[in-house]
Amino acid sequence: MSEAEWTIVALSLKVSLVAVLVTLPTAYGLAWVIARRRFPGRMLLDALVHLPLVLPPVVTGWLLLIILGRNGAVGGWLFETFGLMLVFNWTGAAVAAGVMALPLMVRAMRLSIEAVDRRLVGAARTLGASPFRAFLTITLPLSLPGIAAGAMLGFARSLGEFGATITFAANIAGETRTLPLAIYTGLQVPGSESDVARLAIIAIVLSLGALLVSEWLVRRSQGTRAHVL
Amino acid sequence: MSFDVSLDMAVDDHAFALEFASDAKLTALVGPSGVGKTSTLNAIAGLLRPRAGRIAVAGEVVFDSAAGVNLPPEKRRAGYVFQDARLFPHKRVSANLAYGARFAPAGGEIISQDEVVDLLEIGHLLDRLPSTLSGGEARRVAIGRALLSAPRFLLLDEPLASLDESRAETLLSLIERLRDELDLPMLLVSHSSAEVERLAGRVVEMTAPGPA
């Protein structure tokens, strides 16, 4: 790989990893609440979580711009209080990727939390565990395959994120130009077909690699019959 | 009084009321299927909340709707042996046995892990995962797990169901020994009149409510 390609790949990996790691706890918390709690507004929460999945990504990017942009409600406050600006740099790309990955991560984790027999949690309680300890020792370890699957899906989704990223974080070489944005940019330039092909192959290898690695992790922890997807 | 219970329960579409007080070491709860025996155990353990009533075990009130008392399960410390054993599938037998011990109050121990392993003859199972155990083995481990959690009383839901005769006999004499050697109120749900006759000092019969 050339140095320019390395920059793109390293940026893509950094953006996707940070997006997944930061989104993971939130996604798991939301998944647990939706799976286990019954409260008014649960449907609304579920719908909100799924919004990035059904909205055109450009619209999600635009909403992020409105909320988190330099003049946005939250973005303005972040800038004035911490001097933090999310647009036009890699953290913005990570935010866009994380938001787009959230629904897929919540779905995978929610399914695996729902699959944990609640009666096991009851058994743990009779044995002296507080609700939190029962969660830590029973629900969390038993939903580990869902966490792995969610992380994997989220990573793949982040790696491929385009619409929300280009709208919210823009397309700046070395800063927010991840693999898909680089491929798109290459397509605009006549004569760069081979560069585009190389980037596309790298994208395929990375995505496939992520799938294989997470499959291997799940099998190692859950036995050979377990699967990520 | 080992058990002093008066309950008004609604579980799904089924409602029932039950009242009994027993000072026997082992009390049996009998009645046709679906009458609410397991729900009663769940209510006593704190896993189900009755609509109204009062539950006292060994003199301690664990639930009283009028006084607003409703201890969570972890404060009631039931040694609950579920009919389906309900072992934790991701933990080996040894970790299942040890699960409750770490939450047990200091000095509350009624029996050591070595004694339990000996008594229940489960030494050869310690490294196995629950999915590899037979029904009888799983039930013995479940009894061990309950005993090691420093329980204040025992709830046994059909502990001998679907065991072959020799296994059932072993477990029956074991329950007899626990009853005689430990100072724990025990509540047993059973369908077998022979079992009830041999173990129970007091029998509480639950009957289906007649057509309304």
Q: Answer yes or no: do B90 and A130 touch at CB < 8 A.
A: no
CB B46 within 8 A of CB B62: yes
Give this prediction's pTM.
Answer: 0.86
- Residues on chain A touching B74 (C-beta within 8 angstroms): 125-130
The residue ranking higher by pLDDT, B73 or A227, is B73
**Which tops the pLDDT comparison, A1 or A169?**
A169
Write down the pLDDT at residue B210. 54
The most confident of the ranges A78-82, A170-174, A198-202 is: A198-202
**Which residue in A154, A132, A136 sits closest to A144, CA to CA?**
A136
Q: Model confidence at B20, in pLDDT bands (50, 70, 90)?
A: very high
Confirm or reject contact between B146 and chain A (CB < 8 A). yes
pLDDT reading at A34 higher than 80: yes
Closest CA relative to residue A16, chosen from A117, A153, A112: A153
Which among A128, A138, A141 has the least Cβ separation from residue B103?
A: A128
Residue range A172-178: average pLDDT?
A: 91
The nearest CA of chain B is from the CA of A41 a distance in Å of: 24
* pLDDT reading at B47 higher than 50: yes
Quote the pLDDT of residue A223: 62
pLDDT of the residue at A228: 61
> Average pLDDT for residues A132-141, to the nearest whole number?
96
Provide the pLDDT for residue B212: 46
Average pLDDT, chain B: 91
Q: Which residues of A touch B (CB under 8 A)?
A: 119-120, 122-131, 133, 137-138, 141-142
B162 pLDDT exceeds 80? no
Q: What is the mean pLDDT of residues A70-87?
A: 83
A127/B146 CB distance under 8 A = yes
Q: Please name the residue that has the structure tokens 């082992």.
A: B26
Q: Which residues of chain A have a CB within 8 Å of the CB of B84?
A: 119
- What is the tens place of the pLDDT at every residue in B98-137? 998 888 888 778 888 898 898 888 999 999 999 999 888 9
Strand boundaries in B12-164, DSSP class E: 14-22, 26-30, 52-57, 60-64, 69-70, 78-81, 153-157
Compute how many other C-beta atoms are within 10 angstroms of the C-beta atom of residue A15: 27
Instruction: Give A131→chain B minimum CA distance, Å.
Output: 9
| Percent above pLDDT 90 for chain A | 69
Q: What is the mean pLDDT of residues A86-108?
A: 92
